[in-house]
Amino acid sequence: MRTKLLPLLAALAVASPATTLKAQEPQGARIAVAITETISGYNPYSDPVVLLGSVWCQIYGCITRYDFDKGEFVPYLAESVTSLDELTWEIVLPEGLKRHNGDPVLAEDIVHSIQYLGSNPGSGKAYLVAGWEKVEALDARTVRITTATPDATLRDNLAGVAVTSKALFDQLGDAMFAEAPYGAGPYKLSEVAIGQHIVLERNDDHPLVSPSNPAQIMYRIMAEPEQRVTALANGEVQIAQSVPPQLMQRVEDLPNARIASVNSVEMMFLAMSPKTHPWDVKEARQAVAHAINREAIVRAILQGQAHLLNGPVSEGQIGFDPGFVSPFDYNPEKARELLHSVGLEGVEVTLSTPVGRYTADRQIAEAMVPMLEAAGFTVTLDTPEWATLWANVQQGNVPFYYMGRGSMIDPSRALHQYFATGGSPRIGFADPALDALLNAERAAFDPADRSAKMQAAISHLVEEAPAAFMWQHQMAWGIAEGIRFTPRPADQVNGWEVFVE
């Protein structure tokens, strides 16, 4: 299904030339958002990237969503999500809920979507439903989920479940995603250009949207920061994701644009896969954690627009312990001693980094190379295209890489995904003691008990060092005049939170 984009494309065609230093107003209620993510196709289940996940939720409707104003997960597509006991959850759909084509949304659609996530080869999000023992439709509006073990994080995981149509899938198979992408969300899918953009149109019948929200949103891939800022200046886009520190003043100097900043809940880290030597040796991983002068990188490259992590979480996230200090301070001598103790001085490693996906990612990795070499590693820097690197990371084919994990309001899902045995191939770490600690925190429904158990898991994780935890960025967004948008700690641009004035 493709809806013609002549009004928006005409607006972009008359955008000012690259020399114009003015962020111009959008044409009517149509806006464009410059993003750093990939757009790999029509399948809402295939790519677990955070921002695109929120786009698919706008189209299909996910079962829950995180409400930053309330500070909790709330129903999104569902009418209610209730824990009946520690192993049993019930989802109730609103009466009369319809898809964009008029078809009803049924309990069997939720069952189908969860089963697709968990077992279909086209899914990149099986981790969301791991440990869900039974999912059944009790009637047309009610679904019951039975988990194998207590799971206090289920509402969080449901926020990643886009609900597609069982009937249409039975008829069309995976072709449904392109030919009949009918959801029940606040926006409708209009067009996908793989590797370029995705376009949504407002669903005026949805209670979340209003006439002041954009009638049409184009999410455009712009990997280079200069490209995003120039597009903002020229009126080609009205929101620009991830403005790096060195370009923030340029945006502030634009007569009709501004910077809006928010503290991120995305952990930046160096991942080390024990499937590949030397990362099967704990001392080598610990040496990396001692080798990086994080303070210098934040000061010189990020210009102070980040705060250091003592583990995977910071203040405001579950499991944060203000008294916990990482044992891995910047200490290249200690790093060299660790490598020497296991006969690995001079060991050859390849550090892979995205380029343009995260703030100053290439510059940061380039700064890390001499630090690692001073600690005794022999380092080759690898800078593939983001789409290539991301695909290889998901398949577990990158031994050593710099990356972020976003949307960690509740960090449990991310920690299980990256560090639990069998959580995903991305690192391939396996540690029964950590598994037990992570399972214990996930099973704790009392918030204080869960926080304490999460702290124990984090302490053990940091010591084992399958990743060296770096920092969380303070994320800067460029926003054109005439657009009211307050960025959230998670990388999302939801249409109902954007207002055209």
Q: What is the CATH number of the domain that holds 469?
A: 3.10.105.10
CATH number of the CATH domain containing 40? 3.40.190.10
Residue 262 lies in a domain: no
Q: Could you say which DSSP state residue 103 is in? A: P
Give, as one character, the DSSP assignment of residue 62.
Answer: B
Q: Decide if pLDDT at 245 tops 80.
A: yes
pLDDT score, position 14: 32
Residues 241 and 315 in one domain: no
**Domain ranges, residue 246:** 23-44+185-256+481-500
Q: Is the pLDDT of residue 11 over 70?
A: no
The verdict on 312 and 398 lying in the same domain is yes
Are 414 and 327 members of one domain? yes
In a shared domain, residues 359 and 298: yes
Q: How many domains does the chain have?
A: 3
Residue 51 within a domain: no
Which of 3-17, 163-177, 185-199, 429-443 is predicted least confidently?
3-17
State the pLDDT at residue 150.
95
Q: Are 486 and 468 members of one domain?
A: no
Q: What are phi and psi of 83, to 5 degrees?
A: -90, 115
4 has pLDDT over 90? no
Query: Is residue 175 a part of any domain in this protein?
Result: no
Could you tell me if 320 and 385 lie in one domain?
yes
**pLDDT greater than 70 at residue 19:** no
Domain check: are 290 and 400 in the same one?
yes
Note the pTM of the prediction, 2 decimals: 0.85
Domain termination residue (choose one: 101, 136, 165)? 165
Cα angle value 445/451/453 (rounded, 5°):
85
Coil, strand or helix: which one is 254? coil
420: left (phi over 0), alpha (psi -120 to 50) or beta: beta
Per the domain annotation, does 91 fall within a domain? yes
**Which of 261, 91, 85 has the alpha carbon at shortest distance from 159?**
91
pLDDT tier, 281 (very low <50, low <70, confident <90, very high otherwise) = very high
Is residue 50, in this structure, part of any structural domain at all?
no
350 and 463 co-located in one domain:
yes
362 is a domain residue:
yes
pLDDT at 20 over 80: no
> Quick one: pLDDT at residue 231?
97
3-state secondary structure 23-41: CCCCCCCEEEEEECCCCCC
What's the confidence (pLDDT) of residue 155?
Answer: 95
pLDDT in tens, 211-239: 999 999 999 999 999 999 999 999 999 99
CATH of the domain at 75: 3.90.76.10
Whether residue 16 is contained in a domain is answered as: no
Shared-domain flag, residues 129 and 215: no
418 in the same domain as 321: yes
Q: pLDDT tens digits for 91-110? A: 999 999 999 999 999 999 99
Please check whether residues 366 and 492 belong to one and the same domain: no
Whole-angstrom Cα distance, residue 94 to residue 113? 17
Task: Identify whether residues 315 and 407 lie together within a single domain.
Answer: yes
pLDDT confidence tier of residue 48, bands split at 50, 70 and 90: confident
Confidence of residue 2 (pLDDT cuts 50, 70, 90): very low
Residue in the structure block whose two tokens are 């926003």: 479
Token pair of 356 as six digits: 């343009």
Within a domain: 53: no
